[in-house]
Structure 1
Amino acid sequence: MRVVVVDDEALMRSGLEMILGSAPGIEVLGACEGPAALRTVTRHRPDVVLLDIRMPGLDGLAVLAQLSALPDPPVVAMLTAFASDEYVHTAMHQGAAGYLLKDTDPDQLVREVRALAAGGRPLSPAVTPVVIEGYLAHGAGTRGAAREVAALSPRERQVLALLGQGLTNARIAQRLHLAPSTVKDHLSALMGKLRCGNRVQAAVVAERAGLLHHTSAGP
């Protein structure tokens, strides 16, 4: 898995190179500032780009637009300290595959990068509600959500509700006293039943069905 890091802070670039480069199967091909991003990505053709938003010279949203216009664009996720509604909505609308915050645990960051390369759309828990609200504001009505959720098992509904709150698989497992692999199986099953292609869509169903206000950790 080939990765390029785009950030204006040299210390952050070095830290990300160290964290990701030490993970098996991940190679950091380059790390650069915004103005050099297009040239670096075109040269190295990475699988995944981690991109900061606020950068002098050329900010992350402008870089995202450049990369999205490439004939064979890489998967791009924002990795930033800023979680404002405007940044999140604009980045996701422009094609960002994920939105992560810089306070993400290093081990979790490695998992999220692997998820990106596998087609996932990881979101930091702090920005998940913002993305859900955007889907709700621009998506279809709530009709049918409760009926769809009713087809889930009680445990699947609990997992869906916690997913909707922005919890990671590991935290869902802790909350429900389950093995992480069991949570993964429940997520796979419920997303298939709900015909959801990613966690954000599943979280929107949870919101529309009213699950986020009735979460319980019981069996």
Structure 2
Amino acid sequence: MIRVVVVDDEALIRSGFSLILNAADDIDVAAAVTGGQALDAVAAHTPDLVLLDIRMPDVDGLALLRHLRQLPHPPVVAMLTTFDSDEYIAQALRSGAAGYLLKDTDPDDLAPLVRSLADGAVVLAPQIVPAVVEGYLRHHHGLESAAARTAALGAALTGREREVLLLLARGLTNTEIGRSLHLSVGGVKEHVSALLAKLAVNNRVQAALWAQRAGLLDTEGAQ
């Protein structure tokens, strides 16, 4: 079972997400709480995934995200929000968010998205991808050319790490990457850890966006 904690200041959102996700056979919403109750809920239920509202009246969602990511065994955290401002997107990704979902996500998509997040995939609402790519990566890497970044990647990564990066950037989960490259899930995780260190980024989201901004996906598609 994938254990989920939903953190949102609106009771309607908490109950709606709980109802939808608990209808799936492999997902259990262990708790649906306000921001002020979040840390106790995570400590009590040790969830695999936290769906976290980014703006709440009682707690700063970004501060809570940073706290969760510093736990000894941190859960995957995806931001849940109605806001798509560049500022909030960038801050959430820099703080270790593994995904960014809008609250009006189609209910039929929620369970598949939760499964993808739990399996290590990068999940971003399509509406915010352009802002993520242009805003976050411009802040993180400056305005250096795509050609320069591609050359730096080629020098830093092994062939296998590059293959893993390309599949990761296309949104594949660890299981799917392993199946495609004939690797164990553990082997995929080791390659991901290595390429994160070489790219000097904090998580899979940042690595995927780095590859996209560097033009690696375009280059691969042209081959």
Q: Give me the TM-score of the superposition, normalised by structure 2.
A: 0.68
Judge conservation of contact 1:131–1:200 (CA < 8 Å) in 2: no
How many residue pairs get matched?
180
> Counterpart amino acid of 2:91?
T
* Matched-pair identity in %: 48
> Counterpart amino acid of 1:143?
A
What's 2:43 paired with? 42
What's 2:95 paired with? 94
What's 2:84 paired with? 83
* Whole-angstrom CA distance in 1 between matches of 2:37 and 2:215: 45
* Whole-angstrom CA distance in 2 between matches of 1:139 and 1:83: 21
What's 1:117 paired with? 118
Give the superposition deviation at 1:132: 1.2
What's 1:156 paired with? none
Listed as ranges, the gaps of 5+ residues in structure 2 are 154-165, 182-190, 197-202
Judge conservation of contact 2:5–2:49 (CA < 8 Å) in 1: yes
What's 2:147 paired with? 143
What's 1:10 paired with? 11
Residues 68 and 210 of structure 1: is their aligned pair in 2 closer, same or farther, counting only changes over 3 Å? closer
* Whole-angstrom CA distance in 2 between matches of 1:146 and 1:73: 32
Q: Deviations over 1:87-135 (max 9, x none)?
A: 1111111111111101111121211111111011200011112221222
What's 2:130 paired with? 129
* Whole-angstrom CA distance in 1 between matches of 2:70 and 2:102: 25
What's 1:178 paired with? none
Local SS of the residue matching 1:28: strand
Local SS of the residue matching 2:127: coil
> Counterpart amino acid of 2:32?
A
Judge conservation of contact 1:45–1:74 (CA < 8 Å) in 2: yes
CA RMSD of aligned residues (A): 3.2
Residues 72 and 135 of structure 1: is their aligned pair in 2 closer, same or farther, counting only changes over 3 Å? same
* 1:1-219 paired onto structure 2 within 5 Å: 1-133=2-134, 134-139=136-141, 141=144, 142-143=146-147, 201-202=207-208, 204-209=210-215
Local SS of the residue matching 2:44: helix
List structure 1 segments (4+ residues) > 3 angstroms apart after TM superposition. 144-148, 195-212
Higher helix residue share: 2
Q: Deviations over 1:73-99 (max 9, x none)?
A: 111100110111111111111111111
* Whole-angstrom CA distance in 2 between matches of 1:144 and 1:103: 38
Local SS of the residue matching 2:96: coil
